[in-house]
Amino acid sequence: MLSRALSRVFVLPCRRSVLTATLSSTASAFTDAATPKRRGRPPRTDTTNPKPSTEESASPPKKRGRRPKEPQTVNELTTKSGAGKVIHSPAPPRPVASKPAVIIPADKWELPPLETWSDVFPTSGQASTKPPMMFADRVTLRDPDTAWGLANAFIPEIARDKVIIEAFPGPGVLTRALLDLPRERVQKIILLEDVKVFREYLEPLAKADPRIEIIPLNAVNWDTYEQIDLNKLGVQSLPWDEPHPNLHWIAQLPVSSMGEQLMSQLMRCIPDKSWLFNYGRIPMSVLMYDWVWERMSANMSNRARCKLTMMTKAAAEADLAVDPDLLTPPGDKFYPGSVLHRSGKTRPVVPMAAVNFLPHLKPSIKPGMVDKWDYCLRRLYVQKSTPLEKAVGNLAPGAQTLLRYLTDPSAHPSERLDVKKAIRTMDPRDWAAFISAFDRWPFAPEDLSISNSFTHQERDS
């Protein structure tokens, strides 16, 4: 039978492949039986990501040619213009901040990614502060390059051993930029921040750098500044002749009316040399809404000209610290990019302004006269388009008598005034002459506080 079957293999070529396959499978079965099988799962073959071949995994050939030009940044130290001419930019390049030697949680030393700020820093609700403050009232810097430019504008290259009081620092973007300045410029930074979620990102700075001190109190309260021992820091009270070379106040104002009220109070402190001004002519650098800056700096033709305008111009010099374009678009430079309005609607953050203030060597407001300036400005700016000779009756009964003082030919020129001027066209010199006449008037009202009879328009003027 076997020989007959084998003969058929040679006789019938069409069946040869079948038998050959049969014999091959039989031999394979004997081989598998002789080899011990490996226990466990069979090796997994990656069918989804097969290993590329040598030809596929080889990197593409590099292109030859000129090296691509690196992009230039706004913080470059120098740029070339023309035939070898070098133009220096206003701010040196921002240094790369290195982590401190002490062990600090990375998520606190480094600020969180910008896309997570809405989760880390609340934009609604009320902070547990005194006085209560809404989180929506706080707008803080978030762009490090912008902060670096502001740090150099606030504390320029000529500054030495500055003791900086920074109010409302938020999570510390500007604070970090100030720390990156050369050490000879900054001796101490005192942070006034009472919002706990912001302090969590300030405390690592205090652990890493002894120049940082945190006071967890609200910068609006005057009692907060009594916690600062400036004498211990070597800050001396200096004559009014020159700007104070060491002490400097920096703030990112709340965007509510609280911020404007704080600036108004600071202007009132200058003539009497109270608050920090008992140390001398303290410079101030402030980030504020541009509409607050407009009210503080408005010219005679600007409808925004008001009581705050006159108090500012009479007390201090005020200039923009940087080009406003550096702070635009505000949604990219500041956080949050939008705020909740009282109407319940969300609105984009309005443009901001960075301003440097320096008290006048001779303020137009004399010591002890602040309340009288405040009273007269409030009363008369209700009719700011009206000539003084007609508006003066709004001051108090019988106030027309003041016109005789102001037009007396025998009076000193500094005590005379053109009474046909409209209220909003009067400058600090004019107001100084008017307040001097008011001070000499024997029937001037003694109660200069804001009474309930004042209208809403008077309070907002």
User: Which residue has 């109407």 as its token pair?
Assistant: 343
Rounded CA-CA distance 141/166 in Å is 13
8 Å CB contact between 352 and 288: yes
Closest to 170 (Cα-Cα) out of 188, 184, 191:
191
Whether the predicted pLDDT of 19 surpasses 50: no
Q: CA distances (Å), 30 to each of 2, 34, 39, in order?
A: 21, 6, 19
Specify the DSSP element, H or E, that contains 287. strand 284-289
Specify the DSSP element, H or E, that contains 3. helix 2-11
Rounded CA-CA distance 334/4 in Å is 97
pLDDT bracket for residue 257 (50, 70, 90): confident
8 Å CB contact between 259 and 286: no
Q: CA distances (Å), 120 to each of 20, 63, 418, 428, 458, in order?
A: 75, 45, 58, 47, 41
User: Domains, the chain, ranges and CATH?
Assistant: 106-359 (3.40.50.150), 370-460 (1.10.8.100)
In this predicted model, which residue has the larger pLDDT, 448 or 357?
357
Whether the predicted pLDDT of 76 surpasses 90: no
Tell me, what's the pLDDT at 302? 92
Rounded CA-CA distance 7/214 in Å is 104
pLDDT digits (tens, 9 = 90+) for 195-207: 998 999 999 999 9
Cβ neighbours of residue 242 closer than 8 Å, sequence gap 6 or more: 280, 281
Closest to 193 (Cα-Cα) out of 264, 94, 109, 127:
127
Q: 193 labelled as ligand-binding?
A: yes
pLDDT digits (tens, 9 = 90+) for 93-120: 666 555 444 444 455 678 888 888 888 8
Closest to 188 (Cα-Cα) out of 224, 225, 162, 170:
162
8 Å CB contact between 140 and 108: no
Name the token pair of 224: 């907060």
Average pLDDT over residues 39-64: 47
pLDDT digits (tens, 9 = 90+) for 151-194: 999 999 999 999 999 999 999 999 999 999 999 999 999 999 99
Tell me, what's the pLDDT at 459? 39
Phi, psi at 380, each rounded to 5°: -85, -25
Tell me, what's the pLDDT at 29? 43
The one-character DSSP state at 113 is: P
Among left, alpha and beta (phi > 0; psi -120 to 50; other), residue 419 is: alpha
Rounded CA-CA distance 422/420 in Å is 6
Listed in sequence order, the DSSP H helices in 226-289 are 257-272
State the pTM of this model.
Answer: 0.73
Tell me, what's the pLDDT at 109? 73
Tell me, what's the pLDDT at 343? 58
- Strands (E) across 145-265 are located at 162-167, 186-192, 212-215, 247-252
Q: Which residues of 238-253 are buried (b: 16+ CB within 10 A; e: fewer)?
A: beeeebbebbbbbbbb
Give me the DSSP letters along 23-74.
Answer: HHHHHHHHHHHHSPPPPSPPPPP-SSSPPPPHHHHSPPPPPPSSPPPPPP-T
Tell me, what's the pLDDT at 126? 56
8 Å CB contact between 347 and 338: yes
Rounded CA-CA distance 94/68 in Å is 23
